[in-house]
Amino acid sequence: MKSLYDKDGFLTGVPIISPAKALTHRSILEAVEAERGPMHYQFKAHTAMNSPYQLATLPNLLDIVEQLIGPDILLYSTSYIVKEAYSESHVSWHQDLTYWGLDSDAQVSVWLALSDASEASGCMHMIAGSHRNGQQHHHHTQDENNVLLSGQTINDIDPNQSVVASLTAGQASFHHGWTVHCSKPNVSDDRRIGLNIQYISPTVKQIKQQQDSAMLVRGVDNYGHFQTDQPAVANFDVHAWKKQQALDVKLKGIQGDSA
């Protein structure tokens, strides 16, 4: 896996949980949504919901992450990425690490499908090997259907060179922070639901501000560069909700600021 990841900048179609277990976690999410509204693109979801924390700390998932970034692993954030049926929402060609303020690319993004992510429902497309070119120039765009905080877009990408990273429920993809990728609108009749999980090495520093946070989920942290997040203790931890909202605002402030 490590050699393929180093070559292409991503892995896809990796089985993590059963389709039945994915449906269970989807149902938990949708029960929370019925109670408090959409959870789409809410950062640090694992501090207010136990379900994403359970998924992000699965031993078989962390075993793969360990192959990619080493034995010491911080959970940086989790967020549900939801495209409603027949939605125009999309994600333009971009690289995850562009505005994150991290001083290193010792990071990996995991996208765990809680429903099928097909071409029709707007799965991700990856440009193989693009991570080896480092950071590319992004343009800001004004597009209300673009999920990205700043509408950041890389121009002149040939979509014919992309790999379709379709997933069935319970499968995951893993991609490097400099891998160029996008996703298209959902033209299917079902929601496309994924849990996006961000892991970093404890060696990484946040250089935009001093108040960023993470959570050790494997190994040791000999650096202490981040404040410590606390995991939720229930499927929806009402007492942790306000704190999660503050964390979400703070992280969006970091990642949405191109300075």
Q: What does the pLDDT look like over 53-74, one tens digit per residue?
A: 999 999 999 999 999 999 999 9
* Nearest residue to 185 (alpha-carbon basis) of 83, 40, 38, 114: 83
Is the model's pLDDT at 236 over the cut of 60?
Answer: yes
In the chain, what is the straight-line distance between the N-terminal and C-terminal CA atoms, in Å? 35
pTM over 0.85? The answer is: yes
pLDDT digits (tens, 9 = 90+) for 180-195: 998 999 999 999 999 9
Q: Catalogue the E-assigned strands of the chain.
A: 10-15, 73-83, 91-94, 107-113, 124-127, 162-165, 171-175, 181-183, 192-200, 213-218, 227-228
Q: Are strands 162-165 and 227-228 parallel, antiparallel or unpaired?
A: unpaired
CA 19 to the chain's CA centroid: 20
> What is residue 229's DSSP assignment?
P
The pLDDT score that the predictor gives to residue 196 is 97
The pLDDT score that the predictor gives to residue 144 is 66
Distance CA 119, CA 30 (A): 23
The pLDDT score that the predictor gives to residue 138 is 73
The pLDDT score that the predictor gives to residue 258 is 41
**CA 199 → CA 5, 57, 139, 176, distances in Å?**
15, 11, 26, 11
Task: Indicate the range of 31-35, 93-97, 204-208, 217-221 predicted with least confidence.
Answer: 93-97
Q: What is the CA radius of gyration of the chain?
A: 17
Q: Is residue 74 a contact partner of residue 102, using CB atoms and an 8 Å limit? A: no
Q: Is residue 141 a contact partner of residue 203, using CB atoms and an 8 Å limit? A: no
The pLDDT score that the predictor gives to residue 131 is 92
Distance CA 149, CA 10 (A): 23
**Position of tokens 């010792």?**
106
For the segment 235-258, the average pLDDT, to the nearest whole number, is 84
pLDDT digits (tens, 9 = 90+) for 133-149: 877 767 666 666 666 55
Q: How confident is the model at residue 152 (pLDDT cuts 50, 70, 90)?
A: low
pLDDT greater at residue 15 or residue 137: 15
